[in-house]
Amino acid sequence: MQLEILKTYKLYIGGAFPRTESGRFYKLENNKKEVIANMCLSSRKDFRNAVVAARKAVEGWSGRAAFNRGQILYRIAEMLEGRKMQFIEELILQGATKANAEKEVRQAIDRCVYYSGWCDKYQPLFGSINPVATSHFNFSVPEPTGVVSVLADENSSLLGLVSVIMPIIVGGNTCVVLASETKPLCSITFAEVLATSDLPGGVVNILTGNSKELHTHFASHMDVNAVVYCRENVEEAKAIAELSSLNVKRSFFWQKDWTKTEHENPYLIMDLQEIKTTWHPIENIGVSGAKY
Amino acid sequence: MATTKNKIVKKSAPQVSSVKSVFQNYAPAPESSDHIQLKSQYDLFINGKFVKPLSKEYYDTINPATGKKIASVAKGNEKDIDAAVKSANKAFETWSKTAPKERAKYIYRIARMIQERAREFAVIETMNGGKSIRESRDIDVPLAANHFFYYAGWADKLEYAFPNRNPKPIGVAGQIIPWNFPLLMAAWKIAPALATGNTVVLKPAETTPLTALKLAEIIQESGLPDGVVNIVTGFGDCGAALVNHPQVNKIAFTGSTPVGKYIQKAIAGTSKKVTLELGGKAANIIFDDAPIDQAVEGIVNGIFFNQGHVCCAGSRLFIQENVAEKVIKKLKERMKTLIVGDPMDKNTDIGAINSQAQLDKINHYIKLGQKEGAEIFQPECSIPSHGFFCKPTLFIGTSQSHRIVQEEIFGPVLTIQTFRTIEEVIEKANNIPYGLSAGVWTDKGSKIFNLTSKLRVGVVWANTYNKFDPTSPFGGYKESGFGREGGVHGLLPYVKF
């Protein structure tokens, strides 16, 4: 018999897979109380490092053509499809039934494809040409907010993670995500999918660890532009809302049942967009009217 | 059939020698055609299968750069069209009810497969149509794939495109496409139709059927349900049968204005919806404050792109009088560096004219222009002795009343007029039945927006020309047709509420 090689789950920061700088770990157990993995217990410093990587990636990622971002998101779906068995196994390991695990992976793939299609479509639908009364050409376009910190759904290992990351990055933002503490396996395997999908390093950074320890930092970091909180802890949510005021951080509370397709929509993309309006004069000296 | 594949390819690979202008001496850099797969005979694609035409007749499709035959292509007739429409009609029952997310996945597959086989498509497009390999490789094929990719994404998002409405597919779309961008036009037509849940009968142009038939192969491989896309090759009678078929619910046509008018008349009194993308005679307007060197590049791209076989070609040049001499001098110098010749050569700027008939038409207009008294300029380049080629041509000192100014030539022929004031040029630019596109060259943004609001055309390019993108609506005003392709607006012709 050949002995199975166990996988070491590390973090995903700036396109690399480092261990936590703190050297700390926590034991992940299955429902029979058996240890299935030693997960990194990320520190505040890991978060700060991840924000640096995310900030560095903003310019390149938001500067890409919308079409190119869409191609990359579709590539993520392709990679996910190719490795779906691995995700199903991990979901089962974390307590899901086979049927539910298969369904969750299926939905996660579809969600990537869904958001891939939005790359070049939310701007025309949510931008506008504004018929101002003066002789100006005036238009408004959505632009990415910047770096987004995310505390992902605690109860959904893969779908909850994908459903939040996709609408954030399709719009040109970068993010730092704290994965589910009790179901973290899929997050790091998903990072491996991202790393092989032509997604530039730093666009998505994934940490594992404890929300109680880290949530205040996610909300108070001065170089984070928005925070998305997807958990049910009312106290944490309140702290995040309050701390966001430090730098007028946009804070969003996405506590949703991600298995429902109504929670895939462009309004989530738009939560993390700013609107920029440009005024440009129209020289109105040509008096010829528009003629047939 | 597979055994004859390569033999045919070798026989039809272009043998034209590249013609070098007096200023350039590039070594020939021909694109290889070894890797492509062509059959010696192509059948109709109906109900997911390649079937023989009921007439049992085939015609030769040729390489316009050599005049030699590439393959035999089925000559579809009214009965074939009937079979194709019936298959599309039957497929509509299930396709229109297929979950939008799943519909999207088929279209994404087609997009990916075109990307995977991009080089093959580019080579065949150039062999069959005569356009330079540089253009088919960098423009036609990638844009075609991108159109499928773009509209795939719309399939499950239609309710966002039409707020407060419930968009539904129309039925069978009869689509007739021209020979100037054979694959790209097929993509422009098929992609939005599928995304919105319609089924398709496509009729490619008679001179350029091959890339559409290669697309049929991809569609077959993609697993798209039988009958959702049908492709029937043939001549004008085939197109007329499609237009007049009672089970066709929507017509999408790209081609000449006379045929567009025929279609509009033919469907009058029926419930068929129609979009027409017809001819053009675009004004390309150069102001004295324009960056002249860039403008000259824009003029060249505007009229000589795809041998001028472009409905939105910038075929009427308007130069502000005080810079006219300078612009014309630079334009002539630039034209001397253009390489006319073997379309398969990567250095070639101007490839082959698509057909003998089109070459005759262009030459007729060149003679007419001289007869009308305009000054002609052609660079001193030689052109290949075989195949259909035309030198890039300027007519200087033309006026609004000249037929070469008023009529669409669809070739590498540019007419030049001058103007003094902005009012004058707007008046002249608009004084034509067409209204597809225009170009404006100036350093002043406010002037651009003044012109964009006054020009009666569907697309205005400012300090650029001939730019296309799946997200950007394209289509004309006036006798250049109606309806838009591309962007959100390109969905509307394929839905009902």
| Whether residue B250 is found in the same domain as residue B305 | no
Q: Give the residues across from A189 on adjacent strands.
A: none
- Say whether A281 and B422 touch across the interface (CB within 8 A): no
Closest to B158 in 3D by CA, of B214, B221, B104: B104
Q: Which two tokens stand for residue B37?
A: 């797969």
pLDDT digits (tens, 9 = 90+) for B251-276: 999 999 999 999 999 999 999 999 99
Q: Which residues of A touch B (CB under 8 A)?
A: 66-67, 70-71, 74, 110, 113-114, 116-121, 124-125, 137, 266, 280-292
DSSP assignment of A47-82 equals: HHHHHHHHHHHHHHHHHS-HHHHHHHHHHHHHHHHH
Residues of A in contact with B156 (CB under 8 A): 114, 117
Sheet holding B316-320, edge to edge: B375-377, B393-396, B413-419, B316-320, B283-286, B437-441, B459-462
| Whether residue B298 is found in the same domain as residue B421 | yes
Interface residue B20 vs chain A (CB under 8 A): no
For residue B475, being part of any structural domain is answered with no
Closest to B210 in 3D by CA, of B81, B11, B60, B4: B60
Whether the predicted pLDDT of B147 surpasses 50:
yes
- Say whether B488 and A124 touch across the interface (CB within 8 A): yes
Predicted TM-score (pTM) of the model is 0.93
Q: pLDDT value at position A125?
A: 97
CATH of the domain at B107: 3.40.605.10
For residue B65, being part of any structural domain is answered with yes
Whether the predicted pLDDT of A153 surpasses 70:
yes
The ipTM of this complex is 0.89
Contacts of B27 (CB under 8 A, 6+ apart): none
Q: Give the residues across from B49 on adjacent strands.
A: B46
| Whether residue B252 is found in the same domain as residue B316 | no
| Whether residue B199 is found in the same domain as residue B234 | yes
| Whether residue B169 is found in the same domain as residue B82 | yes
Closest to A272 in 3D by CA, of A226, A240, A230: A226
| Whether residue B254 is found in the same domain as residue B380 | no
Q: Sorting pLDDT into bands at 50, 70 and 90, what band is B24?
A: low
Interface residue B106 vs chain A (CB under 8 A): no
| Whether residue B272 is found in the same domain as residue B130 | yes
Interface residue B164 vs chain A (CB under 8 A): no
For residue B418, being part of any structural domain is answered with yes
For residue B432, being part of any structural domain is answered with yes
pLDDT digits (tens, 9 = 90+) for B188-198: 999 999 999 99
Closest to B232 in 3D by CA, of B251, B215, B255, B209: B209
**Letter for the amino acid at B365?**
Y
* Relative orientation angle of helices B141-154 and A66-82, to the nearest 10 degrees: 70
Structurally, at CATH architecture level, domain A12-18+43-259 sits in 3-Layer(aba) Sandwich (3.40)
pLDDT digits (tens, 9 = 90+) for B95-133: 999 999 999 999 999 999 999 999 999 999 999 999 999
Residues of B in contact with A117 (CB under 8 A): 104, 152-157
For residue B476, being part of any structural domain is answered with no
Average pLDDT over residues B408-413: 98
Q: pLDDT value at position B6?
A: 42
Neighbours of B4 (CB within 10 A): 13
| Whether residue B166 is found in the same domain as residue B315 | no
How far is A5 from B66, CA to CA, in rounded Å?
A: 63
How far is A58 from B98, CA to CA, in rounded Å?
A: 38
* Residue B102 known to be catalytic: no
| Of the candidate ranges A41-50, B24-33, B136-145, B291-300, the one whose mean pLDDT is the lowest | B24-33
- Say whether A283 and B447 touch across the interface (CB within 8 A): yes
Active-site entry in B277, B408, B479, B485: B277
Name the minimum distance, in Å, from the CA of B427 to any CA of chain A. 7
Instruction: Print the domain residue range for B211.
Output: 2-278+481-496
Residues of A in contact with B146 (CB under 8 A): 67
Closest to B131 in 3D by CA, of B340, B298, B296: B340
Whether the predicted pLDDT of B5 surpasses 80:
no
How far is A118 from A269, CA to CA, in rounded Å?
A: 9
Pairing of strands B68-74, B58-63: antiparallel
- Say whether A288 and B423 touch across the interface (CB within 8 A): yes
For chain A, what percent of residues have pLDDT higher than 70?
A: 97
pLDDT digits (tens, 9 = 90+) for A249-282: 999 999 999 999 999 999 999 999 999 999 999 9
Asked whether A152 and A186 are in contact (CB, 8 A), the reply is no
Residues of B in contact with A287 (CB under 8 A): 423
Identify the closest residue of chain A to B142 by CA–CA distance.
A67
Cα A156 to Cα A33, A94, A153, A179, B102, distances in angstroms: 19, 10, 6, 9, 24
Q: Give the sign of the dihedral formed by CA B283, CA B289, CA B292, CA B295.
A: negative
Identify the closest residue of chain B to A115 by CA–CA distance.
B153
For residue B150, being part of any structural domain is answered with yes
B430 CB-side CA count, 13 A = 17
| Whether residue B62 is found in the same domain as residue B197 | yes
- Say whether A116 and B156 touch across the interface (CB within 8 A): no
pLDDT digits (tens, 9 = 90+) for B312-328: 999 999 999 999 999 99
| Whether residue B314 is found in the same domain as residue B339 | yes
Number of domains in chain B: 2
Residues of A in contact with B154 (CB under 8 A): 117, 121
| Whether residue B311 is found in the same domain as residue B165 | no
CATH of the domain at B412: 3.40.309.10
Q: Rounded to 5 degrees, what are φ and ψ at B309?
A: -80, 65
How far is B438 from B461, CA to CA, in rounded Å?
A: 6
Average pLDDT over residues B173-185: 98
| Whether residue B71 is found in the same domain as residue B186 | yes
Q: What is the mean pLDDT of chain A?
A: 95
- Say whether B104 and A113 touch across the interface (CB within 8 A): yes
Name the minimum distance, in Å, from the CA of A79 to any CA of chain B. 14
How far is A269 from A284, CA to CA, in rounded Å?
A: 38
Q: pLDDT value at position B26?
A: 80
Contacts of B20 (CB under 8 A, 6+ apart): B26, B339, B381
- Say whether A113 and B471 touch across the interface (CB within 8 A): no
SS (H, E, C) chain B: CHHHHHHHHHHHCCCCCCCCCCCCCCCCCECCCCCCCCCCEECEEECCEEECCCCCCEEEEEECCCCEEEEEEECECHHHHHHHHHHHHHHHHHHCCCCHHHHHHHHHHHHHHHHHCHHHHHHHHHHHHCCCHHHHHHHHHHHHHHHHHHHHHHCCCHHHHCCCCCCEECCEEEEECCCCCHHHHHHHHHHHHHHCCCEEEEECCCCCCHHHHHHHHHHHHHCCCCCCEEECCECHHHHHHHHHCCCCCEEEEECCHHHHHHHHHHCCCCCCEEEEECCCCCEEEECCCCCHHHHHHHHHHHHHHHHHCCCCCCCEEEEEHHHHHHHHHHHHHHHHCCCECCCCECCCCECCCCCHHHHHHHHHHHHHHHHCCCEEECCCCCCCCCCCCCCCEEEECCCCCCHHHHCCCCCCEEEEEEECCHHHHHHHHHCCCCCCEEEEECCCHHHHHHHHHHCCCCEEEECCCCCCCCCCCECCCHHHEECCECCHHHCHHHEEC
Four-CA torsion B298, B299, B303, B304, nearest 10 degrees: -70
- Say whether B101 and A120 touch across the interface (CB within 8 A): no
Whether the predicted pLDDT of B329 surpasses 50:
yes
Average pLDDT over residues A157-177: 98
For residue B196, being part of any structural domain is answered with yes
* Residue B78 known to be catalytic: no
For residue B489, being part of any structural domain is answered with yes
How far is B264 from B246, CA to CA, in rounded Å?
A: 15
